[in-house]
Amino acid sequence: MTVALTDAIRLLLFPAMMAFAASSDLFTMTISNRVALALIAGFAIMAAATGMESSAILSHAGAAAIVLAAAFVFFARGWIGGGDAKLAAATALWLGFDYLMVYLLYASLLGGLLTLVILRLRLTPLPAALAGQDWAERLHRMDSGIPYGIALAAAALLVYPDTPWMQAFGR
């Protein structure tokens, strides 16, 4: 694989999938399985292209498996959606254990802030400019969930520049 293609994947795939997941969750309250699959495939391509050692690949896979297991407990309790669980696990695959705790900390803080902001906005009337917009009306309903994928994606984008994926780009 050429260096230019590897750099394009490194620069575009992960951030684009995070942006897509966040916007999709905001507008539809769903995150397609294709996002997680694209992230998994992208990781496999990047791991092979950069010569990642098999022990490192297994470690990254272990981080993803642990996050998936914990996230599905959250899903079973109704705290997050299934798409959120898969997004968090696919993100953990890219970040590995080295960046997992900071990612989870950011996701928790941003998720809490997002929840507080949305709950507060639900106490005010929906602005006229958003009336009739299905996504805005759904987000404004008290019985609607919180698009937690926004917080997961934002946390990932905060952590990603510090990872070896991006640090290698500057070399």
What are the extents of the domains in the chain?
3-166
pLDDT value at residue 1: 66
DSSP 8-state secondary structure symbol assigned to residue 127: P
Distance, in Å, from the CA atom of 127 to the CA atom of 107, rounded to the nearest integer, reads 28
Q: Provide mean pLDDT across the span 83-102.
A: 98
Structure confidence by residue, pLDDT tens digits, 117-168:
999 999 999 998 998 899 999 999 999 999 999 999 999 999 999 999 888 6
Q: What share of the chain in percent tops pLDDT 70?
A: 97
How far lies 162's CA from each of 54, 102, 123, in Å?
A: 22, 11, 38
Closest among 28, 12, 23 to 154, alpha carbons compared: 23
Q: What average pLDDT score do residues 75-103 get?
A: 96
Q: Please answer whether residues 91 and 31 qualify as being in contact, where contact means their C-beta atoms are separated by less than 8 angstroms.
A: no
pLDDT of residue 169: 63
- Answer yes or no: is pLDDT of 59 > 90: yes
With vertex at residue 85, the alpha carbon angle to CA 11 and CA 139, rounded to the nearest 5 degrees, is 90
Residue 60 has pLDDT above 80, yes or no: yes
